[in-house]
Structure 1
Amino acid sequence: MSNIPIVVSVLALVLVGMLFGFNIQVSNSFIDTLTSVGGTLSGLGAMAAAYISYLSIGQWKEQYKHSLIYEYLSTLEDLLHTYDREFCEKAINRDSLSFRGKVALRFEPVSMILNDYNKTYQKAREIADKKTLVKLKDIEIFSLNESVYRAFMDFDSARKKQDDFLNKNSEEEITQSPYLLDTYQNLSLEAANKQREIYKVFNDALKAVQDIRSSL
C-alpha cells in the first residue's frame, strides 16, 4: 500500500513530462511554420517592392525622356522661328533677287541654324518612340529647306511676271485700261498667294513641332 503513492507520483510525473514534451513539440512546429510563412511573405514582399521599384524607375525614365524631348522640341521651334524670320526678310526684299541673291537665299538663312538644329533633332530622334519618330520626319531640316526654297522660286517667278508687266505698261496705261488693270490685279494676286505659300511651309513646320510636343 505504501508503494502506491510513489507509483502514482511517478506515473503522474511521466504523464506531465510527456504532455509537456508534446506541447513543446507542437509549439516548435508552430513556430517553424510561422517562421516559414513569415519568410515566404518577406520574400514576396521583397519581390513586390522590387517590382514596384522597377515600375517606378521605368516611369521615371519615360518621364525623363518626355522632358528631354519637350526641351528639344522647344529648341527646334525657336530655331525655326529664326530661320523663318531670316528667310522671309531676304525673300521679300526686292534687292536680294539678283541671281547671286537667289542662290544665297537657298543656303544662307538655313546655315544660321543648321548645326544647332541637326544636333537637337538627332538627340530627339535617339530617345523618341516609333510614333514620334514618324512625326519628326515632317521637320527634317533639309527637306524643309527644299520645300521653302521651292515655294520661294514659285513666288519669285510670279513676282517677275508682275515686274515685267509693270515695265511694259505705265501706271497711267494700267489705270485707264480695264483689261490691263484686271491683268495687273491677277498678277498681284498670284504673287501674293505664292508669298503666302512660303509662310505656309514655315507655319506647317512650326505646327508639326507644337503637335508633337502636345502629344507627349
Structure 2
Amino acid sequence: MANASSKRIATANETALQNLQLGLLIVNLLAPTIRFILSLITSRRFLPPTLPLLLYIVFTGASIFTWRWFVTIGTPERQGGAQVRVGEDLGGKGVIELGWDLIYMTWICTLGSAILGDWVWWFSLLVPGFGAYKLFSTIRPILGIFLPGLFGPSVPRDVSAPAQEAAQPEEKGESRRQAKLRARMEKGDKRVQQVQGRR
C-alpha cells in the first residue's frame, strides 16, 4: 500500500511540475504578445508604467523561485529504474499551498493586466493578505495564552442573564422541563394539554 501511495505522489508531482513549467512559458510569452497587439490596436502603451512593471518582475521572479523550489523538493529520484526517494507531495497543505497560490495569482495578474489593464495588479495583494491571515490563525492560540483578554476565547457579555434564568426554576422547586411545559400550557399549547389529559 505504501509503495502504491509513493508511486501516486511521484506521478502527480511529475505531472504538476510539467504543467507548471508549461504554464510559466505560456503565460510569460502570451502576456507580452497580447500587450503588443493591444498597443497596435488601441492607444495603450506596450510597456506598462513603473509600478506594474516592477510588480511583474517581482512576482514573476518569485514564481520562478517557487517553481525551482518545487522541482527541488518534489522531483522523485530514481536509480536504475527503481524509485529511491519520492519527494514532498506538491498537493500538500501549508507553505506548498501558499506557493501554488502565489504562482496562480501571478499568472492571473500577468494575463489580466495584459488584457484588462494594469489595475489588475491590485489583486496581487491577496497573496500576502492570505498568508498573513493563515499566520495569524496559527499563532492566535499562542497569543491567547499571553493576552487572553484580546486573543482568548470570546465570552458572552451578559453572563448574569443565563444564570438568573437557570436559577428561577430551581427556586420554585420544578425542573427546567416542568417549567417549559408550564410555560407552554399557559400559552395554550394543545400538545401540553393532551399530555396532561392522558395523566
TM-score norm. by structure 2 comes to 0.30
The structure with more helix, counted as a fraction of residues? 1
Which structure has the bigger radius of gyration? Answer: 1
